[in-house]
Amino acid sequence: MRTIPLGMIGFGNVGQAFARMLLVKKDVLKKKHHVDFIVTAISTGRHGAAINHNGIDLERALFLRKTGSSLQELSKYPPHLSQSEIIHLSEAEVLLENTPVNYASGQPSLDHISRALQAGIHVITANKGAVLHGYRFLNELALKQHKQFLFESTVMDGAPIFSLFRKTLPAIELNGFEGILNSCTNLLLERMEDGETLDQAVKHARSIGIAETDPSGDIDGWDAAIKVAILVNVLMNIPIKLDGVERKGIRTIQAVEIQGARIEGQKWKLVCRAEKNGNKVIASVAPEKVPLKSPLYSVSGTSSFILFKTDSLPGLGILESNPGPETTAYGLLSDLLTIYSEEGNL
């Protein structure tokens, strides 16, 4: 049995879901994979930090987070340590970096990840900003340090997107893709089709934890555009920045347009597209009316879908139905097991 220490920066919905998953799957991981993952450090923005090399009591940490209390009581170290100090003191083999996304710069996630890799620590993240702004730099740093930098959960939560191409589609060329990659807008458009205003639909999305207090990242297409850029950079190996993705959100769609599409037997969807054009790529995010025959038509609620267009497999699709923090957490766990299975230690 191998005991593997983990560090966590960020303990929001996804971090907490990951902690719960470790508790639930603890016996399965021991029996099937002969591994015991312990969390030796948790750092949060507003709820303190804890470091314990014997393993933090995750049930207690979850309770403290739920009640808004500080994690400091679980720590063997004094408070007010810097993130750099926490990373080094954690003695972790893997860092899970899940701080809130920064669309503009990818910070502070970029700094956390680069510090950990420089310290010889594998890194897993669900942070789209860090991958968008630092993919090539961080990937090269990981290779130099003989460590892994994985980010399955950045697009379509725990669905196998990056691992699909990395592991099971050798010698294939991705020529393009189309899909629905923002589950919030998919839900908003569906509820507007049923007669709600955008404000009413957003209120519902907030009530179930799908929309943020400021939903502009979803409504104006930023979240979808970031995912498109990440897919182009990683899977198509074509450098592209966020401003290279033509972006239009759903904010200006009127009720009369939505009802008109319904009469025509069509549905409005926020569609993500990318297609190779020589050595470049044409990428976009925009609302479209899709017909009944389109595979995007039946993608409902908070589900996501992507259709890959490759040189050998003309149409390969993946549908993820109604994901949540647990599915994102599974993507983190999948990456974690990938690190050790590829090392031949599981």
13 shares a domain with 35: yes
User: pLDDT value at position 346?
Assistant: 52
Mean pLDDT of 3-12: 96
Q: What pLDDT shows up at residue 343?
A: 59
pLDDT value for 314: 85
The answer, yes or no, to whether residue 88 has pLDDT greater than 90, is yes
Helical axes 13-24 vs 325-342, angle rounded to 10°: 60
Residue 345 has pLDDT above 70, yes or no: no
Over range 25-53, report the average pLDDT: 95
pLDDT, greater one: 236 or 322: 236
Per the domain annotation, does 65 fall within a domain?
yes
Q: Are residues 180 and 262 in the same domain?
A: yes
**Portion of the chain with pLDDT greater than 70, in percent:** 99
Residues 114 and 193 in one domain: no
Indicate the pLDDT class of residue 147, thresholds 50, 70 and 90.
very high
* Angle, vertex CA 329, rays to CA 328 and CA 334, nearest 5: 100
The whole-chain average pLDDT of the chain stands at 94
| Residue 279: pLDDT over 90 | no
Q: Is residue 163 part of a domain?
A: no
Q: Is residue 119 part of a domain?
A: yes
208 and 146 in a common domain? no
Contact present, 64 and 57 (Cβ < 8 Å): no
Residues 191, 308, single domain; the answer is: yes
> Which one of the listed residues 128, 147, 227, 269 is annotated catalytic?
227
227 is an active site residue: yes
| 246, part of any domain | yes
Cis peptide before 108 (omega within 30 of 0): yes
For 188-196, what is the mean pLDDT? 94
Q: Does the structure show a pLDDT above 70 at 344?
A: no
Which range has the worst mean pLDDT, 106-110, 151-155, 341-345? 341-345
For residues 50 and 41, the answer to whether their CB atoms sit within 8 Å is yes
Whether 187 and 279 map to the same domain: the answer is yes
Q: How many structural domains is the chain composed of?
A: 2
Q: What is the CATH number of the domain that holds 19?
A: 3.40.50.720
* Same structural domain, 303 and 190: yes
Assign residue 311 the CATH number of its domain: 3.30.360.10
Q: What is the pLDDT of residue 188?
A: 96
Looking at the structure, do residues 81 and 137 belong to the same domain, yes or no? Answer: yes
User: Domain residues for 67?
Assistant: 2-158+326-342
Q: Give the per-residue pLDDT at 282.
A: 97
What pLDDT does residue 132 have?
A: 95
- pLDDT tier, 211 (very low <50, low <70, confident <90, very high otherwise): confident
In a domain, 316, yes or no: yes
Within this chain, do residues 302 and 333 fall inside the same structural domain, yes or no? Answer: no
- Residue 40 CA to chain centroid, in angstroms? 23
Q: State whether 80 and 221 are in the same domain.
A: no
- Mean pLDDT for 318-337 is 93
What is the pLDDT at residue 1?
A: 85
Q: Are 148 and 232 part of one and the same domain?
A: no
For the chain, first and last CA: distance in Å?
Answer: 10
Residue at token pair 């470091």: 51
pLDDT at 214: 82
| % of the chain residues with pLDDT over 90 | 87
Whether the predicted pLDDT of 342 surpasses 80 = no
Q: Say if residue 213's pLDDT is above 80.
A: no
pLDDT at residue 61, as a whole number: 98
For residue 237 the two structure tokens come to: 């190996």
Q: Greater confidence, 128 or 278?
A: 128
Residue 164 inside a domain? The answer is: no
Is 182 found in the same domain as 269? Answer: yes
Residue 177 lies in a domain: yes
Model confidence band, residue 250 (pLDDT cutoffs 50, 70, 90): very high
